[in-house]
Chain A
Amino acid sequence: MKKTIPLLIALTFGATASFANEDKIAELQAQLNALADYVESQSVTPSKTSLGGYGEMHYNNRSNGSNELDFHRFILFVNHEFSDNIKLFSELELEHAIAGVGQVGAIELEQAFLQFEKGFGTIKVGIFLMPVGIVNETHEPPTFYGTERNPVEKYIIPTTWREGGVMYSANSAGGLSWDIAVHSGLNTTTSVRAGRQSVGNAVADTLAYTGRIQYTGLAGLTLSASLNQQEDMNQLAGGLGAATLLEGHVIYNIADLKLTALFARWTIENGQDTQGSVLEASYRFSPAWGVFTRQNTWDDTGAGDKVQYDIGANYWPHEDVVLKLDMQQQNTVAGNQDGFNLGVGYQF
């Protein structure tokens, strides 16, 4: 009994001290978390203005053509969030490294639009990229194979194609999306590509309309179809009349294998119809390496089918940096420009 009493007293004091320690630890933890909350609130406040960009330099070595080293594109994005549902997106481009009178390059406003977001979709107002084809909207160098963009989208669609106007976009839970736009039209007496007015004092006597419907509801699959209607290809000044572009493409990923098919056709009321197709297969061996082969067939002049075969590889030393090597072979109609291309590109 004499030994039991001191033991009970010691246990009582010990338990009290333990509870006191737990309270103290909990209090310190709360203070530490409050301090961390403050530090993090000071350090991670996001800016409403963001900067991004991409660029690419190419070396072309081809027979029946010039050998060139060209810093083809240097682009800066400056975007701003006015509010949760009103945002500005802009893209300023320097093409071919130097611009000015008599120089080969140009400074161009490739995109500058306000985006208004609602639960049922978004509205873009300003200069935006046409929702047509694959690379017209997504053309950062690390996202595609081949040093140069494929000639079908370049000469037929024609990428990069932007217009000024209004576009409405929406999507459904099943993976279906659609875009519809009213915008400035082409103005040309020659090729479709030459008719892009780049929204610089663009003649707007007639309008043009674009619609796209796209399905991505199955993992790895993209089905897309676009229609562009020009009220008058020469803005009532020439004789080409109305024109319609139909474009469709399918992309299917089977694990690391990617298969792509694209077809585009312009029907011009009083002019030469043009069309082209792309077939591409690529394989991503690892996050760093991928290879591809591509067949491009197009007729943009009425002189017959131009054909170009490409084969090459991409190496990504970083997910946003790419080195490219590809070889190309053309038929006689396309100019027999056989050779190889080297490229380096980045995005951020």
Chain B
Amino acid sequence: MRVLFVLMLLAWSSLSHADIYLESQVFVQQQFSGHPPQPQVIWLNGELKAKLAGVLQHKYTGLRIRYWQGEENGLQTVWVLNEIGKEKNITVGITVAQDSIKTLQVLAFRESRGWEVKHGFFTRQFVSMFLKKDMQLSGHIDGITGATMSVRAVKKLAKVALLLHSEVQQ
């Protein structure tokens, strides 16, 4: 047992660190077939900040949010957003087209627990979901035991992307 453990430590020490699964710019490029448009920004006025606070359950401190918009899939927007799970930011890339989520991918995870949210079996649940009038997602997202706060953070970001998409379409 002790020998096995030492061998695993040695294997671990020879490999490089990565809690960034996909660089943001690579995600954006993928969403536009390698040719992303210039980024745009949405400025956050008081009304929009209040809506964001309602979704996030805390104030959003930034002045504006960057996004990319193109003609793919009708008219799609791409967002790279951050939210704290328990203590550290989780970075999520979200593509919205026709008012529903086309792609959701965890790009970076920095928490000590809850890493399960990065996997496709979890993120695929968000595809085709839209935002209802009560600001809830249109379907149920199955949680992951031990990853409650990470699941919650990703759900919030999905709602934020859908909300912002509807704002920039107006």
A210 to B115, CA, bound (A): 21
Beyond A117-B17, A120-B12, A138-B146, whether A36 also contacts B5 by CB under 8 A is no
When distances are taken between beta carbons in the complex, the residues of chain B under 8 Å from A120 are 11-12, 15
B87, A79: Cβ atoms under 8 Å? yes
- Rounded to whole angstroms, the CA-CA distance of A180 and B9 in the bound complex is 11
A43-B61, A217-B121 known; A253+B143 contact, CB < 8 A: yes
Please determine whether B121 and A219 come into contact, CB atoms closer than 8 angstroms: yes
Within 8 A of A (CB), among B34-73: 41, 57, 61-64
Contact status A222-B145, CB under 8 Å: yes
B169 interface residue (CB < 8 Å to A): no
Tell yes or no: B133 within 8 A of A by CB: no
Asked, given contacts A118-B12, A209-B1, whether A40 binds B17 with beta carbons under 8 Å apart, the answer is no
Chain A residues with CB below 8 A from B120, complex form: 173
Cα distance A244–B148 in the bound complex, in angstroms: 30
- Note all chain A residues with C-beta closer than 8 A to B113: 137-138
Check A220/B143 contact, CB under 8 A, given A44-B62, A52-B87, A209-B1. yes
Q: Which residues of chain A are within 8 angstroms of B13 by Cβ–Cβ distance?
A: 118
Interface string of B57-96 (1 = CB under 8 A from A): 1000111100000000000000000000011110000000
Measured between beta carbons, the chain B residues less than 8 angstroms from A50 are 87-88
* Contact flag A219-B112 (CB < 8 Å), given A40-B63, A84-B17: no
Q: Are A175 and B121 in contact (CB under 8 A)?
A: yes
Contact in complex: B140, A123 (CB < 8 Å): no
Among residues of A, the one whose C-beta sits closest to the C-beta of B123 is A219
**B122 interface contact, C-beta 8 A:** yes
How many chain A residues have a CB neighbour from B under 8 Å? Answer: 51
A63 to chain B: which residues have CB within 8 Å?
A: none
Q: Which residues of A contact B2 (CB under 8 A)?
A: 182
Q: Are B9 and A123 in contact (CB under 8 A)?
A: yes
Query: Which of chain B's residues has its CB closest to A115's CB?
Result: B112
A175 contacts B142, C-beta separation under 8 Å: no
Please tell me if A22 contacts chain B, counting CB pairs below 8 Å. no
Closest chain-B Cβ to A267's Cβ sits at a distance in Å of 17
Alpha-carbon distance between A227 and B61 when the two chains are bound, in angstroms: 46
Q: How far is the CA of A190 from the CA of B155 in the complex (A)?
A: 47
Complex CA gap A138/B41 in Å reads: 39
Name the CB-closest residue of A to B139: A255
12 sampled A-B residue pairs with Cβ under 8 A: A40-B62, A44-B62, A118-B13, A119-B17, A143-B148, A166-B5, A168-B8, A168-B12, A171-B116, A216-B144, A253-B143, A319-B57
Q: Closest 5 A-B residue pairs measured CB to CB? A: A220-B142, A85-B17, A219-B142, A120-B15, A119-B18
Binding site for B on A (CB under 8 A): 33, 36, 39-40, 43-44, 46, 50, 52, 77, 79, 81, 84-85, 87, 89, 115, 117-121, 123, 134, 137-138, 143, 166, 168, 170-171, 173-175, 177, 180, 182, 209, 216-220, 222, 229, 251, 253, 255-256, 318-319
